[in-house]
Amino acid sequence: MTTASDFDNLQPQSILEAVEAAGFRTTGEYTQLNSYENRVFDIRLEQSSKAPADVDRVIAKFYRPNRWSSRAIHDEHEFLMDLAKEGIPAIAPVTLNNGQTCLDYQGYTMALFPKVYGRMPDEFLAGQLKTVGRTLARIHNVGSRHEAEYRPYLTPQAYGWPALDRLERYVYPELWNRYEETCVTILNRVEDLLEDASFLRIHGDCHKGNLLQNASGDRGFFFVDFDDFCNGPVVQDFWMLLSGGEDDDDALLERDEIIAGYEELRTVPDEFHLMEPLRAMRIIHYAGWIAQRWNDPFFKRIFPEFQSYNYWLDELTRLERIARTL
């Protein structure tokens, strides 16, 4: 029997059993955290001298089956451990009792991360984006050492055309021709622009929701959720941190503050002309991702307007606005 969701078989008992199989003793207390793509849980642990790591709480991440290969997940974990070795505030996975950072349990791949305390910023205060820029430069310095062999490259071949192929059955019929024409124009332009771009290991989904302000009260941030980690131009990790597009005055000031911190440790490449094209490809990719997951009832609940006329008119308006600037 085919289940409606990839996670239908992930029950509370199996969640705790998987953590126990990894070498930890749980108290039985856990809280599910917000995650669209995977299933993520905050789990309390009992003290045990036999545990593979001295932690009292872990974040258990169960990867969506068939999304990433084991080698692609290893690329993510290798990058996080490289960052941790440099003292960069990104949370590396715990080594489990099998000597690895992943455990396969009842059809799911699980990784455990130490619990860190902090909060997502509602908005950035003066000077904070400079700190973010400095940390981002350190991440990219590590990322530039080599590319991730089993992770995708941020190109239309991986992030644009496959998404567009999925969308004809979801875009409101009266809007499809305009939508398709606009997307083809954008993706062809992105292909041309990326021919001279440099690719290295980047976060890939670097927005405020994936920053966690250090609970100690200093101005630092943890970078979290590297699930969309990929090979791409570094400007991809800039634009999602901004409050608007390239013609927005506040966004320009924010960009300058990030650059000021970034340039203390790394030269900013001449790539800012890629921001709006990459934003447009992200819009297409995001819609294609929802379409790919549409059979999961969870997605129908959180995106109830996905097949409505107004949803697709808004998507089309955003894309046409960017297309006119390319």
Please indicate whether residue 270 is annotated as part of the active site: no
Amino acid 185: pLDDT: 97
Q: Are 52 and 102 in contact (CB under 8 A)?
A: no
Rounded to 10 deg, the angle between the 176-194 and 309-323 helix axes is 40
pLDDT in tens, 279-323: 999 999 999 999 999 999 999 999 999 999 999 999 999 999 999
Question: Residue 2 — pLDDT band, cuts 50, 70, 90?
Answer: very low
Confidence of residue 251 (pLDDT cuts 50, 70, 90): confident
Q: Report how far residue 88's alpha carbon sits from residue 104's, in angstroms, rounded to the nearest whole number.
A: 28
Q: Are 70 and 190 found together in one domain?
A: no
Mean pLDDT score, 226-243? 94
Higher pLDDT, 121 or 72: 72
pLDDT band at 11 (very low <50, low <70, confident <90, very high): very high
Number of folded domains that form the chain: 2
| 288 and 199 assigned to the same domain | yes
Last residue of a domain, one of 115, 149, 173: 115
Pairing of strands 108-114, 118-119: unpaired
Position 147, amino acid: E
Residue percentage of the chain with pLDDT more than 70: 96
The verdict on residue 1 lying in a domain is: no
Helix H or strand E encompassing 246: none
Q: Are 96 and 112 in contact (CB under 8 A)?
A: yes
With a cut of 70, say whether residue 215 has pLDDT above it: no
Residue with tokens 């606005």: 321
226 and 144: one domain?
Answer: yes
Compute the mean pLDDT over every residue in the chain, rounded to the nearest whole number: 93
Residue 247 in this model has a pLDDT that exceeds 80: no
123 located within any domain = no
Q: What is the pLDDT of residue 218?
A: 58
The pLDDT of 238-263, averaged and rounded, is: 87
289 and 263 together in one domain? yes
What pLDDT was estimated at residue 219? 58
1 pLDDT more than 50: no
C-alpha–C-alpha distance, residues 229 and 206, integer Å = 9
Strands (E), the chain: 25-33, 39-46, 57-63, 103-105, 108-114, 118-119, 200-202, 211-214, 221-223, 230-232
Higher pLDDT, 245 or 59: 59
pLDDT score at 220: 79
Q: What pLDDT does residue 217 have?
A: 54
The domain boundary, picked from 90, 115, 140, lies at 115
Query: Which of 41-55, 131-145, 243-257 has maximum average pLDDT?
Result: 131-145
Highest mean pLDDT among 8-12, 51-55, 281-285: 281-285
pLDDT at 282: 97
- 61 bridge partner residues: 40, 111
Same domain for 231 and 315? yes
Catalytic option among 6, 75, 82, 225: 225
Q: Is residue 270 part of a domain?
A: yes
Shared domain for 140 and 273, answered yes or no, is yes
Residue 237 domain boundaries: 128-323
* Residue 3, pLDDT above cutoff 70: no
Using CA atoms, how far apart are residues 28 and 19, in angstroms rounded to an integer?
A: 10
Please name which of 196, 191, 187, 197 lies closest in space to residue 323, comparing C-alpha atoms.
Answer: 187
Asked if 245 and 312 sit in the same domain, the reply is yes
| Distance, CA of 20 to CA of 110 (rounded, Å) | 12
Average pLDDT of the residues in 113-139: 89
- For residues 35-51, give the mean pLDDT: 93
- Whether residue 3 is contained in a domain is answered as no
Indicate which CATH number applies to the domain containing 268.
1.10.510.10
Q: Is 101 exposed, middle or buried (0-12, 13-18, 19+ CB in 10 A)?
A: buried
Tell me the Cα Rg of the chain.
Answer: 21
Note if 104 is an active site residue: no
* Residues 60 and 138 both lie in one domain: no
Q: What is the pLDDT of residue 122?
A: 80
pLDDT in tens, 147-200: 999 999 999 999 999 999 999 999 999 999 999 999 999 999 999 999 989 999
Same domain? For 172 and 269 the reply is: yes
Residues 133 and 267 in one domain: yes
Strands (E), 106-197: 108-114, 118-119
Number of residues assigned to the chain: 326
Work out whether the CA dihedral 232, 235, 236, 237 comes out positive or negative. positive
Residue that terminates a domain, selected from 87, 115, 143: 115
Q: Which two tokens stand for residue 247?
A: 């013609």
Question: Cα–Cα distance between 156 and 87 in angstroms, integer?
Answer: 34
Q: Based on the domain organization, do 163 and 210 belong to the same domain?
A: yes
Same domain assignment for residues 204 and 96? no
CA 43 to chain centre: 22
